[in-house]
Structure 1
Amino acid sequence: MLSLNIIGAGRVGKSLGRLFCHHHVFQIAQVFNLSSASNQAALAFIGEGQAVNDIAKVNSSDITLLAVPDDAFALAIAQLITAGALKPQTILFHCSGSKSSKDLLRLCPNLEHLQIQLASIHPVRSFADPDEVCSDFAGTICSVEGSPQALAILNPAFTSIGARLVNIDSENKLLYHAASVFASNYLVTLMDTAIATYVAAGVEEKLAQQMAQSLASKTLENVFKFGTSKALTGPIKRGDQQTVQEQAATVQTWDADQGALYQAFIQPTIKLAKR
């Protein structure tokens, strides 16, 4: 069984670690986190592995999962190379939606000299609750790109834990990830704004959450049942432009940032309504 090091066992790293361990896909070798407490928690969650708190003490493995924040990639890779933890022909992959395997080469050209096989595999789902991720990972769409040698190992590994694989062009990773940001991150921000606006209008917060949940849940259901054009309702769909402008001004008076957000949605929604 091939060995796997996990560099940064946060929600994504430890979730994949547990899935690989429980499905007997890889042997979890070393797990690196900065603090002993987070390392022990990660190992308890994964069920296997050796804790390492100093990246300079990481040993080489067949495969390395880089699960640190994107901005920390260059430093972490440089430290792993210095430590001798990345041997020629081994595999290094990450799960960032916005970075590609080619981005790793741009950040650390030495990876090509070392003949490290690179890939990125991005699970298209939220990792807010690792327990839930591990219990229902089957069917999760994962976007993959990288060297043929790396994907020859990683594709069947992810298939073994239930992933649905979709190939993506490395040059389109940023645009691809922007779609995920719209569908997930900004959706959360939008719901936060909706709840805050209800509260500003005098609705009690718990009730505001229920109102937003009821409306948003049914709207999303309609989006994926009928398509975006048919799911759209409201004043723009009805052509009530005066109402829209009065509402935009009211929101702007209440909160400038939320007013700007409301205004930003008007023209895209007009275009959608015309479709």
Structure 2
Amino acid sequence: MKKNNCKISVIGAGKVGSAISYALYRKGFNFLTVIDKNLNKASRLKNIVKAKNFSDDIKKIGSETTFLLITTPDDVIYSVASQISKLKNINFENLIAIQTSGVHSTDSLRPLELKGARVLSFHPIQTLTSKLNKLKIYDSVTNIYFGVETRKENYSIAKTLAGYLNSKVIFVKKEYKPLYHIACVFASNYIITQLNAIELLAKKIKMQKVWKHAFKPLINASVTNALYYTPTEVLTGPIERGDVKTLQIHIENLKNFAPEFLEFYCASGIETLKIALKKKSINENKFSKIKKLFEQNISVGKKL
């Protein structure tokens, strides 16, 4: 895959499509067409990557396209691939088609593969936000890992593409794609959920102005330590100590002052309890006692 021979068309001008396209543009790749149902988005990305054309019609994909980047919402990837496969002006045997879904495999590109295209699922293990400027968007998809699912004969394409982005690849088997994506969700979305809980609890105790500064060292240390060692090795806190009375105080105060977090706290507590048992910082009896406390209050939380 040589960039001088690559003529890229992009379907989907959202965050992921814009980020990867801009990063490739910065590396010298040439763009033919940007397609998006939102013409304003298509026009904006077309100007950023100096593409020749933009449209809201898939049929307007440039006939010279050799590299197709599909960055649409997951639910429409197959439909988009199917529509493209019916076009008469595309040389499919000279086409590399990539989608960036975390959960969907290359089965979603099957209509293109049947026409002779080489297909890859090339998912950035990164979080992207519209708050980023162009330079930060470029930085967000360089020096990272991409989760790739494809046939072995296409591995070199994935490695070369990632190389242009100063990144590396992890090859994921097709049947493991959903579990891979769940891990990504835990690594990104659910961490945000926990931070949101911290923010809302901080507001209740009048710490809304300083909560980021106050909790940042604790958050950073917890993540850094868990990644340097293992989550099991670095677990601390009342569950790790088997401190039942502290947990009871937490639960009673959640019931009285923040009942919306009771179920979340207890469900998270059960998972944390399993880590403490694995660490052998608590015994089976303590595990059972605390687990019962959490389970009883999960049902209470559902009713509040």
The correspondence for 2:99, drawn from 85, 94, 99, is 94
Q: Which runs of 5+ in 2 are unaligned?
A: 280-304
Q: Deviations over 1:211-261 (max 9, x none)?
A: 232321221122223321232221111211232133134324444442111
Match of 2:288 in 1: none
Query: Shift of residue 85 of structure 1?
Result: 6.5
Q: State the shift of 1:86 in Å.
A: 5.4
Greater alpha carbon shift after TM alignment, 227-236 vs 79-88: 79-88
Change in CA separation of 1:226 and 1:154 when aligned onto 2, cut-off 3 Å:
closer
Residues 121, 143 of structure 1: 8 Å contact kept: yes
Q: How does 1:155-166 map to 2 (within 5 A)?
A: 155-166=159-170
Equivalent pair of 2:92/2:116 in contact (CA under 8 Å) = yes
Amino acid at match of 2:159: N
Check if 1:75 corresponds to 2:76: no
Determine whether 1:222 maps to 2:225: yes
Gaps of 5+ in 1: none
Q: 1:225 to 1:260 in 2, by over 3 A?
A: same
Q: Does 1:59 align with 2:56?
A: no
- 1:185 matched to 2:189? The reply is yes
1:247 and 2:255 aligned: no
Displacement of 1:150: 4.0
- 2-structure distance, mates of 1:147, 1:78: 20
Residues 101, 121 of structure 2: 8 Å contact kept? yes
Q: Deviations over 1:161-191 (max 9, x none)?
A: 2011221111101001111110111101110
Which amino acid in the other structure matches residue 94 of structure 1? Answer: Q
- The worse-fitting range, judged by mean Cα deviation, of 85-94 and 235-244 is 85-94
Cα RMSD after superposing both structures:
2.2
TM, length-normalised to structure 2: 0.80
Letter in 1 for 2:34: V
Matches within 5 A, 1:101-250: 101-105=106-110, 110-128=111-129, 129=132, 131-135=135-139, 137-200=141-204, 202-250=205-253
**Aligned in 2, Cα 1:71/1:245: closer, same or farther, shift over 3 Å?**
farther
Letter in 1 for 2:181: H
Larger radius of gyration: 2
Q: TM-score, length-normalised on structure 1?
A: 0.88
Between Structure 1 and Structure 2, how many residues are aligned?
A: 269
Letter in 2 for 1:41: R
- Which of 176-185 and 203-212 deviates more? 203-212
In the alignment, is the contact (CA less than 8 A) between 1:123 and 1:142 conserved in 2?
yes
Q: Is contact 1:253-1:259 (8 Å) kept?
A: no
Q: Is residue 264 from structure 1 mapped to residue 264 from structure 2 by the alignment?
A: no
